[in-house]
Amino acid sequence: MRRRLSRGAQDCSKSLKCSLLSCSGDAMTYTQSLRLAGFLLVGILAVSPSSAQTPVLQYNAPAGFTPGRDGGDPQVFIDPMLEGSVEVYAFRPFQGDFRTSFLRTLFAGRMSPGFNNPQLLTRPVPQAVMIPGADDALVISFTATQNFYTYVHTRLGILSRGSVAIVETRARSAQRMQANGPAISAMFQSLHVVPALGAEQTIPDQNPRIPRAPLDRTQVDPLALQARAVQRLDEFVDHFRRAGEFQSRLQDLAQADAELSLSNQALAARSDWSALATGLIKQGSVHRVQGDWANAVTLYQRAALAAQRANSISKHADALAWGALAESSRSNRNLGQASADATRAVRLA
């Protein structure tokens, strides 16, 4: 069934097509063509990725901690002094804006009863992190009291394929949290997300109306997948420039998104940060040209982090610049953040 555009989007399509036809053969830059495609496709309904199979969080238990009963959710580990703990909550379905929801609620409703109604004593401090195989991850540190007890918390939320897992570390004091730091840090370094074990895997579809060919996860060359996806994106934009329509090529855009998702997971798993930064920038562009600003912003933020780890100034600047454009385009835009990112991009360039 063909998706119909609103009248406003149809008018936009006609206007842009006329503009392209009146270019008198002048060459358009790649950036300009992507922007035109983004303005046109903003009228398309973007469907958030979903997951047919719940992913699995794998890790090494914190050294010196005593584990609770196996198979429980959460899996609990108690520190040697009985003054701190680590709780690992398995992936559960999630819908919405991951970072906004996490910052607003701390995912308190997902915690065990003794910690699901914290009274904050300090302002939560967020920090984005990279977890191999995850779509996004954020650590939030805060101090809170509940049931007359005060704890220092470091709460890690991990988003993957439409589900969220949580790793909660807490201690009765900042000194105890610091003492547990080496064991917890080693555990965090071991964290990685894998597909559901023993289940047939499929790539999450950005648009369920568009059929997508399955990708073989057992024989993945992430750089080849990335190159193939970038070619699809380039051909999509080139087709729009030449023909003034995009409906016939939406499947290529969906397939590019799938290939980049798989490629980026493999690149993160082997810590190829430079190539990962490129892949995340390109995947951000796939979402941006569809007007899916929230996911585009998240992907550009992850690209900036990967570029920093790769010590790539140029890719860091690119991720910040594209992120600023996407942030300034969304309906609930944060112009202060967009301006700050654009300024940093200019300074880096």
pLDDT band at 206 (very low <50, low <70, confident <90, very high): very low
What is the pLDDT, as a whole number, of residue 297?
A: 87
List the beta bridge partners of residue 143: 152
pLDDT tens by residue, 7-24? 333 433 433 333 323 333
pLDDT tens by residue, 235-251? 888 887 787 777 778 88
Under DSSP, the state recorded for 339 is: H
Q: With 90 as the cut, is the pLDDT of residue 292 above it? A: no
What is the pLDDT, as a whole number, of residue 91?
A: 94
CA angle 55-255-56, nearest 5°? 5
pLDDT tens by residue, 94-152? 999 999 999 999 999 999 887 888 999 999 999 999 999 898 999 999 999 987 889 99
What is the pLDDT, as a whole number, of residue 248?
A: 79
Residue 294 burial (CB count, 10 A): 20
Residue 110 burial (CB count, 10 A): 17
**Closest C-alpha among 56, 116, 115 to residue 91:** 56
pLDDT band at 4 (very low <50, low <70, confident <90, very high): very low
Percent of the chain with pLDDT over 90: 36
Q: With 70 as the cut, is the pLDDT of residue 51 above it? A: no
More confident residue, 4 or 274: 274
More confident residue, 287 or 202: 287
Under DSSP, the state recorded for 44 is: S
What is the pLDDT, as a whole number, of residue 71?
A: 63
pLDDT tens by residue, 144-182? 998 788 999 999 999 998 899 999 999 999 999 999 999
Per CATH, the homologous superfamily of domain 13-50+203-348 is Tetratricopeptide repeat domain (1.25.40.10)
Domain 56-194 has CATH 3.40.1000.10: yes
Length of the chain: 349
For residues 1 and 28, give the distance between their C-alpha atoms in angstroms, rounded to a whole number: 33
Q: Where are the domains of the chain?
A: 13-50+203-348, 56-194
Q: Which residues lie closer than 8 Å to 30 by C-beta, 6 or more apart?
A: 234, 237
Cis before 74? omega within 30: yes
